[in-house]
Amino acid sequence: MTAAPLEKTIPVGNAKLGHTTVFWIGFAVVMAILIVAPLILPEFWRRFLTEVLIWGLLAMSSDLLIGYTGMISFGHSAFFGLGMYGAAGSLIALSKSLWLATLCGLAAAAGAALFVAYFSTRLRDIYFAITTLIFSQIFYVIIFTWTTVTGGENGLIFTRPHLTIPFLYDARFTSTTMHWFVLAVVTASYLILRRLTRSPFGMVLQSIRENEPRTRAIGYPVERYKIVSVMLSGLFAGLAGVLYAVQNQFAAPDFVFFLTSGDTVIYNVIGGIGTLVGPIVGAGFFQLARELLARLFGDQFPYLIPLGAVFIAIIILLPQGLLGFARRWLNR
């Protein structure tokens, strides 16, 4: 299933050094492009790229479940949404601090994730997916109807906090510094998740994905690993929600609706599950294709039809996703 031949072509003797060097060179090149990009791109595309990174973070967080633990979650819209509403609530009711808002968003998402994880991780496969879907819809209904707190259909609108580093820096976000801020958070998240997935803990998750009864038989309390995995995934999804709220200065119930979860799964499938970077590429590809098709055919045309055709073509031609070929290499 995985790209085994890739590994064989590298001589075993000095593969470690070569692999690490190649990986970090690639990382540096991509980072350099993403850092310079907002200075070159026009305003629209600058914001577009920033949003791709945020959706990428959301997709990457769900890859921890889909690609590593082997559980497909349709509940990520809830974690994303609670991150949004947590941050918005903090900015409106508590203080103008960006960092406090982040903390509140993460706490809200983690609380929701703990709740969902506790009940859904007893179930497997499609039953897990359906349960997470139901829970996310419950959160959607609560947010949609609890108008006094969440603003109901209108959501919450707030003024964007300043980017502050205590005693060092305090300024309004521009679209460029916003991009760099998002880039820094997404990059840090990637490095943390990469560490996590290659740690002994991450190996247990992958063992659960490959063979759950066997993993239990060699002594692992599988449920506990799954709960922690859902919580960590929900935490990073919440972080994406915080970023999205800060970028757009609102929290809206639309994003808690399960379609957001569906998009997240699609980004994973297009980009390649179990690669972490694949879902970001998938998010970029999908958003770009949608934007270009909408421009090509005009807003009146149902451009989602050709988008669906593109999606089907990828499933058939690249069943492992755009970066699926590099899966084993990226996880070493």
Partner 1 sequence: MSAQPSIDIRSPADVRGAASVPILKTELLSVRFGGLAALSQVSVEMARGEVRAIIGPNGAGKSTFFNCLTGVLRPTSGRIVFDGEEITGLRSNMISQKGIARSYQITNILPNATAFENVRIAAQSRRHAWNMVSHHDAFADINGKAEVALTAVGLLDKAHELASNLSHGQQRNLEIGIALATEPKLLCLDEPTAGMSQVETNETMELVQRIAENLSILIVEHDMAVVMGLCDRITVLHYGRVLAEGTPEEIQQNPKVLEVYLKT
Instruction: Report the nearest approach of partner 1 to the CB of residue 303 (Å).
Output: 38
Is residue 20 within the footprint of partner 1 (CB under 8 A)? no
> What is the distance in angstroms between the CA of the first residue and the CA of the last residue of the chain?
16
219 to 248, contacts with partner 1 by CB under 8 A?
A: 219-222
Candidate residues 23, 27, 48, 201; the one interacting with partner 1 per rule CB under 8 A:
201
Candidate residues 47, 160, 216, 290; the one interacting with partner 1 per rule CB under 8 A:
216
Contact segment (CB under 8 A) with partner 1 among 38-46, 152-160, 166-174, 205-213 equals 205-213
Is residue 207 within the footprint of partner 1 (CB under 8 A)? yes
Instruction: Report the nearest approach of partner 1 to the CB of residue 3 (Å).
Output: 10
Instruction: Report the nearest approach of partner 1 to the CB of residue 124 (Å).
Output: 16
Which amino acid, 278? G
Is residue 198 within the footprint of partner 1 (CB under 8 A)? yes
Give me the helices (H) in the chain, please: 4-8, 15-40, 43-63, 76-89, 98-120, 125-145, 147-150, 175-198, 200-210, 212-217, 222-248, 258-271, 277-297, 304-317, 327-330
Instruction: Report the nearest approach of partner 1 to the CB of residue 67 (Å).
Output: 13
**Residues found in the chain:** 332
Q: What is the DSSP string of 25-43?
A: HHHHHHHHHHHHHHHHS-H
Do 247 and 51 contact (CB within 8 A), yes or no? yes
Residue number, 77 or 121, with CB nearest to partner 1: 121
Is residue 147 within the footprint of partner 1 (CB under 8 A)? no
Residue number, 50 or 320, with CB nearest to partner 1: 320
Residue number, 222 or 265, with CB nearest to partner 1: 222
Residue number, 12 or 317, with CB nearest to partner 1: 12
What is the maximal distance between C-alpha atoms in the chain? Answer: 64
Is residue 1 within the footprint of partner 1 (CB under 8 A)? yes
The interaxial angle of helices 15-40 and 175-198, nearest 10 deg, is: 160
φ and ψ of 251, to 5 deg: -125, 125
Q: Which of 232, 242, 262, 225 is nearest to 114 (CA)?
A: 232
Residue number, 178 or 232, with CB nearest to partner 1: 232
Is residue 12 within the footprint of partner 1 (CB under 8 A)? yes
- Report the C-alpha gap between 201 and 229 in whole angstroms: 9
Is residue 202 within the footprint of partner 1 (CB under 8 A)? yes
Instruction: Report the nearest approach of partner 1 to the CB of residue 247 (Å).
Output: 29
Q: Which two tokens stand for residue 193?
A: 């998740």
Distances in whole angstroms, Cα of residue 193 to Cα of each of 63, 64, 176, 276, 277: 10, 8, 25, 8, 10
The footprint of partner 1 (CB under 8 A) covers 1-2, 4, 12, 195-196, 198-204, 206-207, 210-211, 213-222
